[in-house]
Chains A and B, each alone.
Chain A
Amino acid sequence: MYTGFVLSAVVSVRVPLKVKEILERHGVNIAEMVRRVLEDEARRLEEQDITNALDELAMKYREKISPKELAILIRKCRDER
């Protein structure tokens, strides 16, 4: 059965030795921490990008596009396919 998988990439980060020693002394899982910070930042950037793009489109089309008109087009597509 296909269960899906997520492609991954390796990211190497060079930090001062002292920083690594302190983190290790405190039992910090460095890989997990770096992964979480990078994922959070990627998500934040993606959200920012999406919200900006949504606002840009709305400025242009809010008054011009009617949901009813789009619904008619979608019905036509569904019935024709």
Chain B
Amino acid sequence: MLDASVYAPLILTAGSKVFTALRKHHVAILDLTPYETCNVYWNEAVLHKHITPSDAIKACVLAFRLSAFLKVITFRELNPQILAEESLDKRLTAYDAAYLIAAKSDGLELATEDEKLAEAARESGVNVLNYDELTRFLGICLKS
């Protein structure tokens, strides 16, 4: 299971190899992941000007189009009672809790660069990968 903190950089920097790798390894995302991903591109284009607006649009569209080839776990599949309890119990945002319970209930490893989410996931017994570990696992070389 990928959260937006790894999905966003994969789309922007990993190249076409990521496409084959994500499909080969049956990678999952949440239905909210493309939206979070688009938010970060918006920030990078408008506030930080690290990417051009046209590339932000391109990357945002890709975040949605790529999801058609991945397993997308929707909010309908998550138990709202557990989500709310985890969120309050662990002092997590609902977004964090959604990733956490989706990974936990489907027995998935969680790939995230977000320390807060990673820590909560580890505490819940979910195996966590950071971005570098994920790209090594997927066999994607990120150096040109």
Residues of A within 8 A of B (CB): 46-47, 49-71, 73-75, 77-79, 81
Q: Is A57 touching B9 in the complex (CB atoms < 8 A)? A: no
Known A-B contacts A50-B62, A71-B114; A57 and B39 likewise in contact (beta carbons under 8 Å): no
The contact size tier of chain B is 35 or more
When distances are taken between beta carbons in the complex, the residues of chain A under 8 Å from B59 are 57
Question: Which chain A residue has the least Cβ–Cβ distance from B8?
Answer: A70
Q: Is A74 touching B9 in the complex (CB atoms < 8 A)? A: no
Q: Is B4 touching A81 in the complex (CB atoms < 8 A)? A: no
Chain A to chain B contacts (Cβ below 8 Å), 24 pairs: A46-B68, A50-B16, A51-B16, A55-B15, A57-B55, A57-B58, A59-B15, A61-B51, A61-B55, A62-B15, A65-B12, A65-B50, A67-B6, A67-B8, A70-B12, A70-B44, A71-B112, A71-B113, A71-B131, A74-B4, A74-B5, A75-B114, A77-B40, A81-B93
Chain B min CB distance to A64 (Å): 7
Q: Is B40 touching A74 in the complex (CB atoms < 8 A)? A: yes
Kindly state the separation between the CA atoms of A54 and B62 in the bound complex, as whole angstroms.
Answer: 8
When distances are taken between beta carbons in the complex, the residues of chain A under 8 Å from B62 are 50, 53-54, 57
Q: Is B9 touching A58 in the complex (CB atoms < 8 A)? A: no
